[in-house]
Chains A and B, each alone.
Chain A
Amino acid sequence: MKYLFLLLRRNVSAWQLLIFGVGGLVGALIVMLCMQSYRDIDRAYQSDDALFSENYLVISKPVSLRTTVKGLIGGQSLSFNEHEIEELRALPDVSEVAPFRTARFTVDAMVSAGHRTLRTEMFLESVPDEFIDLPLDDIEWKADLSDRFVPVLVPRNYLDLYNFGYASARGLPQLAEGLVGQFTFQLIIGGSFYHARIVGFSTRLNTILVPDAFLADANRVYGEGKDDSPSRLIVRTRGEEAGASLLQYLTRMHYVVADGGEALVRMRSMVYGIVWAVAAVGILVMLLSFFLLVVSFLLLIERNREIFRNLISLGYNQKQITRPYRLLALVVDVIVWAVAAMLCSIFYPYIGALILEASPSLQPAGMGIFYLAAFIGCLVFVLIHYTVIWYGVKRITKR
């Protein structure tokens, strides 16, 4: 097929090939970066990053003068009833709802230092273990009424309040987290003494927490039969969906979201919006580049229309005529994708560094995806080009 290739070589200029190659390279780079971005976003969804992963909101009912007065005279309660909890649970944005369990008995904390004893009334709450933002396997988060030991979690901002407020003002030493965990104190629950120790600090939950099973047992044994309805709920939202509709519901019900959770939800909605907008533009550009590649080859074929007709009149068949063009497409596609994969593996580490800077909990994906993308992309491009060449020539040479 020497002369057929010669004919192709004389009819396809270096400029044409260069433009064709550069067009393909741009398309290939877009496809590969789109695939990589998709992987990064997917990893972000799987990660613990607050902006992408599932989110927790602590909600309560608003406290006002009216509710205070009504509470005093035994009227309206600020607690949630079963119906309200179920309604919340049924929302599409909500994956799980759990009540805060409150100690229904008096609790006193006591610290002895030398001859002095400090004693104060306090409260305890609990939530199911899966709502706690600490790796519970690493801490001793189990208690039994018979053990006489209770692990306690306190809000991190209690420690901050002491370290940066009280200790600074009074010239007292600031305490590290680990050091606080060394101190033990005593809890007096229903007249019984329990050893207690602060085992961790929670960012998510702004309360003094003990294990849920322990509090349930303690309420049963020491409880004073008060109303058991929760006044605070913890809501776990769905990672990818929680957004405006949940906020609308909470506003409509006049529920209060604690600790800036609302702002986070708004930000998440915004981030999702941006991510999907960028993805949509990426897909559009990718389709456009595919389209351009098809059109560029169709133009090449159209330009050689007379040549194909003459070759047919010499007795060449479609398979023979398209062979040099198919080979050209194969060579160009392989070179284009190999260069694209090379460029991506050179420049992606810089993008990876940016990702890491933006969100330290995310790790940029490896390079393997580029080679896989290059292989699949090359295969798809070759198939598209083969089809375009085959049907383009067939259309022209139809007798």
Chain B
Amino acid sequence: MLSLNSISLDNMLPKVFVGQEPCGDSSDIWLHQVKFSRGETILLQAESGRGKTSLCSYMAQLRSDYVGQLHYLDEQGTELCIEPSELLRQHIGVMFQEHRLFADLTAVENVMLKNQLTQYTTEHEVRQQLSRLGLADRMDCPCSMLSLGQQQRVAFVRALCQPCSFLLLDEPVSHLDPANAAVMAEMVRERQVADDLCLIVTSVGHHLPSDFSQIYKL
């Protein structure tokens, strides 16, 4: 199997920003050469509307409305060509800012829908992870009946439910209290240790309590 080791951003800029005020001076990412590698813990910080969610979507190959280049590299620095659905199943776990849960499915079913694709874990383990995040009594409720904070935790567990070398968390604690944010950070750390993955977290200010090796301003 292909082994994704780093993602290189080469002078990227969302098309929507093209022709607007120069971004290169105010951003560490847009129109710069940046490389994210396994083992790193990265925080992308910016106010709203600076393209945090767009960058996550670009890296996950869910959108392509940008200029510049995006490269997926293995340990030797050789460029990898990975099919988009395989990238999302095997290499990059994403927790979306808008959660993207299925309202008619329960919390467990939402996670298992992903697990059905990746065959990464068991329903028992999924339930354990949801319980750890305080959802023991809510895991069999349809997601339409969960609060935003509860939905955010379900989306997080789902993002972990796959093998990956990169984990993108788009504003993961925006609706969480500090206690739940701390549990989430702990779970991420465990996973990072186990898989040596690259954690990329975006934030508008209230961010995941982790030890970030690098902080970028968008």
Contact = CB atoms under 8 A, between A and B. Distances in A.
Interface of A: 1-4, 6-7, 10-11, 307, 309-310, 312-317, 320, 399
Nearest to A311: B113
Q: Which 4 A-B pairs have the closest CB atoms?
A: A315-B88, A10-B104, A315-B89, A3-B113
Given A4-B116, A10-B104, A399-B61, A313 B88 contact: yes
Pick the most buried of A11, A307, A310, A314: most chain B CB atoms within 10 A of its CB.
Answer: A314
B118 A7 contact: no
B109 A6 contact: yes
Given A10-B104, A11-B104, A313 B60 contact: yes
Given A6-B109, A399-B64, 12 more contacts: A3-B112, A6-B105, A6-B113, A7-B113, A307-B102, A310-B101, A310-B102, A314-B114, A315-B86, A316-B117, A317-B85, A399-B61
Contacts of B60: 313
A3 B112 CA distance: 7
B88 to A, nearest CB: 3
A315 B105 CA distance: 18
A213 B89 CA distance: 91
Given A312-B62, A313-B62, A313-B96, A3 B105 contact: yes
A109 B118 CA distance: 104
Nearest to B142: A10
A313 B100 contact: yes
Interface in B81-131: 84-89, 94, 96, 100-102, 104-105, 109, 112-114, 116-118
A10 B144 CA distance: 13
Contacts of A7: 102, 104-105, 113
Nearest to B158: A314
Given A4-B113, A7-B113, A313 B102 contact: no
A4 B116 CA distance: 9
Nearest to B62: A313
A1 B105 contact: no
Interface of B: 60-64, 84-89, 94, 96, 100-102, 104-105, 109, 112-114, 116-118, 158, 162
A312 B118 CA distance: 14
Pick the most buried of B63, B85, B114: most chain A CB atoms within 10 A of its CB.
Answer: B85
A399 B102 CA distance: 20
Contacts of A312: 62, 85
Nearest to B90: A315
A8 to B, nearest CB: 10
Nearest to B96: A313
Given A3-B113, A314-B114, A317-B85, A10 B62 contact: no
Contacts of A10: 104-105
A1 B118 CA distance: 12
Pick the most buried of A6, A309, A315: most chain B CB atoms within 10 A of its CB.
Answer: A315
Contacts of B86: 315
Given A3-B116, A399-B62, A399-B63, A313 B109 contact: no
B130 to A, nearest CB: 16
Contacts of B100: 309-310, 313-314
A232 to B, nearest CB: 83
Contacts of B96: 313
A312 to B, nearest CB: 7
Nearest to B159: A314
Contacts of B88: 313-315
Nearest to A1: B116
30 contacts: A1-B116, A3-B105, A3-B112, A3-B116, A4-B113, A6-B105, A6-B109, A6-B113, A7-B102, A7-B104, A7-B105, A10-B104, A309-B100, A310-B100, A310-B101, A313-B62, A313-B96, A313-B100, A314-B113, A314-B114, A314-B158, A315-B87, A315-B88, A315-B89, A315-B162, A316-B117, A320-B117, A399-B62, A399-B63, A399-B84
A370 to B, nearest CB: 40
A316 B96 CA distance: 16
Nearest to A11: B104
A1 to B, nearest CB: 7
B102 A315 contact: no
A315 B85 contact: yes
Contact of B85 (A2, A3, A4, A316): A316
Contacts of B105: 3, 6-7, 10
A303 to B, nearest CB: 12
A399 to B, nearest CB: 6
A309 to B, nearest CB: 8
Nearest to B91: A315
Contacts of A310: 100-102
A307 B105 CA distance: 11
A17 to B, nearest CB: 16
A26 B21 CA distance: 60
A314 B63 CA distance: 14
B64 to A, nearest CB: 6
A152 B34 CA distance: 110
Contact of A2 (B84, B116, B158): B116
